[in-house]
Amino acid sequence: MKTVAVIPAAGKSKRIGGQTPKQFLTIKGKELIAYTLEVFQRCPLVDEIVVATSEEYFKRMNKIKKEYKISKLKAIVNGGKERQDSVFNAISSLSIKKTDLVAVHDAARPLLPDSVLLSAIKSAQKKGNAVVCIHARDTLMKGKKTVDSYINRADYYYVQTPQIFKFSDLWYALELAKSQRFYGTDESMLMKRAGFRINIVDGSPLNFKVTSPDDLLLFKALARKV
C-alpha cells in the first residue's frame, strides 16, 4: 500500500501579513515549508510527496527540493483559490491505486513529530483512514463579551493534520463537495459529510499551525532547537 503526502501550500498568509506567504518565510536560514517536507522525506512509510502552490513559487519549490534533498517530492502542481481546491488539484495529478493512502498535511505545521506521522499512517493502513487530533485541555466556554455557558471538554478535540484517507474515498468526498459547491475547513469535514466514519489518532501540541505572528515567534524559538 503506497502513501502519498499532499501538501497544500498556496495560501497568502493574510493573518501574518507581509509580501511572502508564511510557508516560504525563512527561519534559521530555511524556508518554513522545508521543515515540513523534511518530516515526510525521512518517514519510511511515505513514498511520494506532491506540493500544490502558486505558479510563481514553482522555481522556489524546485530550489528547496534540490537544496534539502527532498527526493520524494515527485510533483509540484498549481494551487487553487481555497485549500480544498489545492488538495483537489494535487490528488487529480496522482496515478495510484484506489486503496493507496493520501496524507494531507498543512505546509505550515513544520514540527509534526515523526512518531505521530508513523502512528497515523499505520492506523490508516489498518482502519482505512486517520485524522490527527489532540484533546481539548483548556476550559471551554461559550459566549461573546460575557460567559454564556461552559462546555465539557472530555469529548472535544482540536483537529490537526495529517489527515489520511484511501485515495478513492477522498476523491469521492472532494467530488461530492465540488458538485454541491460546498467548502469545508479540512478534509475530515468533507469525509464525514460524505458519510465516512473518521478514526482519531493522537497528535501533539508541537504540531501547531503557524497562523498568527505569535505562532511565528513560537516556531522561531523552537526552530533554534531543531
Model-wide pTM > 0.85: yes
Total H helices, total E strands in the chain = 7, 11
Phi, psi of 42, deg, nearest 5: -90, -5
The CATH number given to whatever domain includes residue 80 is 3.90.550.10
pLDDT of 12 reads 77
Buried b / exposed e over 175-202, threshold 16 CB at 10 Å, is eebeeeeeebebbbbbbeeeebebbebe
Instruction: Count other Cβ atoms within 10 Å, centred on residue 148.
Output: 8
pLDDT of 20 reads 87
Phi, psi of 209, deg, nearest 5: -95, 130
* Total count of domains within the chain: 1
pLDDT of 226 reads 58
pLDDT averaged over 10-residue windows placed end to end, the chain, 226 residues: 96 70 93 98 98 96 98 97 96 96 97 98 98 95 93 93 98 97 96 97 97 93 78
User: Which residues form the domain of 183?
Assistant: 3-223
Phi, psi of 51, deg, nearest 5: -110, 135
pLDDT of 147 reads 96
The closest alpha carbon to 116, from 214, 204, 8, belongs to 204
